[in-house]
Every structure is written in C-alpha cells, then in structure tokens.
Structure 1
Amino acid sequence: MDFSLLLVIAVALSGAIYLLDVLWLRPKRRERLATAEAATTEGLDAPTREKLLKEPWPIDYSRSFFPVLLVVLVVRSFIVEPFQIPSGSMKPTLEVGDFILVNKFAYGLRLPVVHHRFLEVDDPERGDVMVFRFPEEPAVNFIKRVVGLPGDSIRYEGKQLYVNGEPITKTLIEEGPELSPQQLLLEEQLGSVSHYIYNNPRDPGPQMREVVVPDGHYFTMGDNRDHSNDSRYWGFVPEDNIVGRAFAVWMHWDGGLPSFTSVRRIE
C-alpha cells in the first residue's frame, strides 16, 4: 500500500469538499435560512435555525480532518518521516525493531507520490545512512550506508572495502560481541564518519571486482557486511530513488512494550 498516495488523495478529497462548502454550499444554507426567516413574522426557533444551517456529515468531517491531514502530508513529505527497521542488515548501527526518523529535506525537497525533486539542498555524502526506494521494487524502502558517490571506483575483496583504490581503515573492537557472538565488531572510518560494522570470520562473504559509480547514482552497503542485500548484489541507487537521510532512533519495539532507552543519533 502506498501511504503517500492515500494521504494525497485524502487531502485532495477533503480539501475539495471543504472548499465546495465555503464557496457554494454554505452560502446556499444561509440563503435558505434568510428565506425561511422572511416568510414568518414570529421568527424561527433555535432547533429550526440549527437544522437549516446544519452541515452534512461529509462536510463536517472534511472541515475537521482537512487541516490535520494537510499538516501530516507536509511534515511527512518535506520535513521528517518515521520508519521501522525490519531486518538486521544495518547491525550493529540499527537493530530490528528500531523506529527511526528520516530527514526529508537533507537531499532536497521532492513532490509526494511522483518523487520529483523540485528544490535542491545537498547531495548524499560518503558515510551517510540513507533511506531509498529499492531499484528493483520501488514500493519497498531500503536503508543502507552510502559508500560510493558518483564517479567513485568501489571494490570489495577479502572483507576489505576499497574506495578509489584506497583501503578503508577499520579497527578490531571486539571478537564475538555479546549481541552477535559469531561476528567481529570493527570500527570503520568512511569519509568523516566513524561507525561500527560486523564481519563474520567464518563466512568468506561476497567478493566484488572494481566498479565505477555512474553519474546520478550511489553505491550502498549494510553495516552487517556479510548479511546485507545491497549494491554488491543489485547495483546502484538512482538519485531519483532517494527518500532521505536517517538521523535518529526514537523508539525500539520488538513485540513487547515499546522502549525509549535506545534513543540516539545515527552515526
């Protein structure tokens, strides 16, 4: 289900009904009231006046919901949008069940539904955690880390990432961390961003020969390097598919009671 499309339809429909009432139906109700009052010398009682001025239920609901729906549409489309993490591809940065906030204007403002960028702000930077529409199934949102920018050459061999021929620095932090005892916890320096990744020493993982990122595209990878469906498998992310930059975790929910103890910035 395309929630953005449903929201746009709801705003357009409620707004149209509300505008129709303001411009035509409400004056008609007042005209009927004036005609009824002119036809009697005793004046109209309160129930009769209320009945003649009463709004039909579609108009009443539209007047009540239109401002709320419009605010939700503007905030969700142009300012910030919440998402839930459904998989472990971004561990240890993001856990399954994390609820995140995504900055919708960081990479420019886009029209809802059609996703056309009408105002340029900034472009993704190496190391950003980015939400985008999956190129092979645009109705599905993915979240990965930006590794390659347009024009970069990217290679991944022996669990080592190379950008423009240079190996990306990573430092071993812990062998067999408590949350994932089969993995190695490492700190990686990607551009100006220092962040943690997982590598599985028992799994050779994917190998990828050098590729060059085309103009208008980005190369992304999950922080859980051996368990991530990312650009190493399906290619590049078109600029038109970008949704926004993930910047905070505001809640965690794994089926029990929601927890707010993991509120944090996303690095």
Structure 2
Amino acid sequence: MSTDEHAPRPLWRRVTGSFWFQLAAAFVATGLVLSFVAKPYWVPSGSMEQTLQPGDRILVNRLAYVGSTPTTGDVIVFDADAAWGLPAPDSDDPVRTALRWLGEVTGFGPSGPHTLVKRVIAGPGQTAQCCDEQGRVTVDGVGLDEPYVTNDFAFEPGTIDCESEPRSGRCFGPVVVPDQSYLVLGDNRTGSADSAHRCRAAEVSPSCWRWAGNVVGKSVAVIWPIGRWSGL
C-alpha cells in the first residue's frame, strides 16, 4: 500500500473542504449576486396597482442599466432621498434591524427603508407635462399610451381639464427633468405619492417635484406569490 494514502491532506484542502468554509463561501456568493446582479424586493403599497400588488415580491435586475439608462415605461426600484419624506430607519432596535436585513436579502419582508418602486415617465433633459387634448401625459410633446394606468384623475375636455376651474387633478407641468434624475409616477395615479404628487395644481413651487436619482435596477418579474408569476 502506498504511503501517499496515509499522508495528511494539504491545509488548503482541509480548509476548503470544511462545512464552515463552504457555508461562508455560499454567503459570499449570495451577497455578490444580490449586490451586483439581481435582488428581490418587497412591494410595500398599492401605488403600482394593478401592475404590482401590495406584498408582491419582485426581482430587480441590477445590471439592466450598465451602459444604458432607464427609459419611459420602465418599472424601476430606486433609493429615495429626503425630498420623499420617508421615515429614518429605526437603527436602535436590533430586532427590526435584523428583520429588515433579512427582508432585503430574501425579499420576504420590508426592503430598504428608503426603497421605492415606480414607473419611469421621463429622463434627464426631457420635458414632461399633463395633459394633451386626450388627457394624456406628454414627453417632449408626444402623448404616452399608458394602458397600465388605473384610478386616474378625472379628465373631460371642456368640462374638467387643465383650463377649467377647478381644473383636473391629472394636470401638471411642464417641467424639465434635471440631470441624473427621472420623473416617476405610480400606475395607480390617484393613490401614488410620486414625482408629481405635490405638483398637481395651477401654481406650484419648483421644489414640489421629487425625482428618482439613485436607481437600484429594473424590475423584471413578479416572483411571489406563485399565482402572480409574471414578467414586467
């Protein structure tokens, strides 16, 4: 019998073959995928109904905008800044912190405290406005076809529109989207605190606008519950 059969395994093989090393490697690999490739997110509200329902888990492609930018119609996840008026995370409660971390990793629970999902309407340098004669949102003067919109504000030419008194709550702008920013709206227009939420009046301050800037990625599919599996 060869003495090689009784020779101790090299240290690197003993380390890499251990359960704890393989577990740590799995966590690292999962972290890299979640950080740079794809990540699940939990939908917290009804602002995107009927496209997304409260409690849906969606898969976000974090590589979608490598070498490109969001375009009109994309459903994006972004980290909202202070202008969106979201509460600060409760960092003093270790249980809530742990549950939020678990939710961010798995999608089964709240995502980041400042993470929102909306639909892109216009990008940097584009001019957005509502409404044209048909009551549509326009981008650079072109009316958008938005079959996904539900619960829109009332609009009837000559009765309640952007010239009537009172005017339609659908109306906003015109506004030019700043650099590195996006104007985003919810599909559930009357139930969404979106970019135009505070700007649907005849006279508003420029500070009423809220922009999506720190884009996490593009929402590509509903992955839970099973009955709602679908692409976006």
TM-score scaled by structure 1?
0.56
Establish whether residue 247 from structure 1 lines up as the match of residue 220 from structure 2: yes
Bigger fraction of residues in strand? 1
Asked which structure has the greater CA Rg, the reply is 1
Equivalent positions of 1:13-162 (< 5 A) are 63-108=21-66, 121-136=67-82, 137=86, 139-157=113-131, 160-162=136-138
In structure 1, distance between residues paired with 2:221 and 2:150: 20
In structure 1, distance between residues paired with 2:80 and 2:222: 22
**Deviates most, 137-146 or 155-164:** 155-164
Q: Secondary structure at the match of 2:64?
A: coil
Which runs of 5 or more residues in structure 2 are unaligned? 1-10, 87-111, 156-167, 198-208
1:157 deviation in Å? 4.0
In structure 2, distance between residues paired with 1:66 and 1:131: 29
Corresponding residue number in structure 2 for 1:228: 192
Which AA in structure 2 matches 1:154?
A
Corresponding residue number in structure 2 for 1:219: 183
Which AA in structure 2 matches 1:263?
W
Q: Secondary structure at the match of 2:21?
A: helix
Which runs of 5 or more residues in structure 1 are unaligned? 1-25, 28-52, 109-120, 170-187, 189-194, 253-259
Residues 251, 139 of structure 1: CA spacing in aligned structure 2 closer, same or farther, 3 A cutoff?
Answer: closer
Bigger fraction of residues in helix? 1
Residues 146, 201 of structure 1: CA spacing in aligned structure 2 closer, same or farther, 3 A cutoff?
Answer: closer
In structure 2, distance between residues paired with 1:86 and 1:147: 21
1:78 deviation in Å? 1.2
Provide the alpha-carbon RMSD of the alignment.
2.6
Q: Secondary structure at the match of 1:154?
A: strand
In structure 1, distance between residues paired with 2:170 and 2:144: 17
Q: How many residues align?
A: 166
Q: Secondary structure at the match of 2:179?
A: coil
Residues 57-76 of structure 1: CA distance to partner in whole angstroms, max 9, x if unpaired?
Answer: xxx88534320111111110
Residues 201, 152 of structure 1: CA spacing in aligned structure 2 closer, same or farther, 3 A cutoff?
Answer: closer
1:230 deviation in Å? 0.9
Residues 97-120 of structure 1: CA distance to partner in whole angstroms, max 9, x if unpaired?
Answer: 211100011112xxxxxxxxxxxx
In structure 2, distance between residues paired with 1:229 and 1:67: 41
In structure 2, distance between residues paired with 1:100 and 1:249: 4
Corresponding residue number in structure 2 for 1:167: 143
Corresponding residue number in structure 2 for 1:118: none
Indicate the percent of aligned positions where both proteins have the same amino acid.
33
Which AA in structure 2 matches 1:166?
V
Equivalent positions of 1:170-209 (< 5 A) are 188=146, 195-200=147-152, 204-205=168-169, 207-209=171-173
Corresponding residue number in structure 2 for 1:173: none
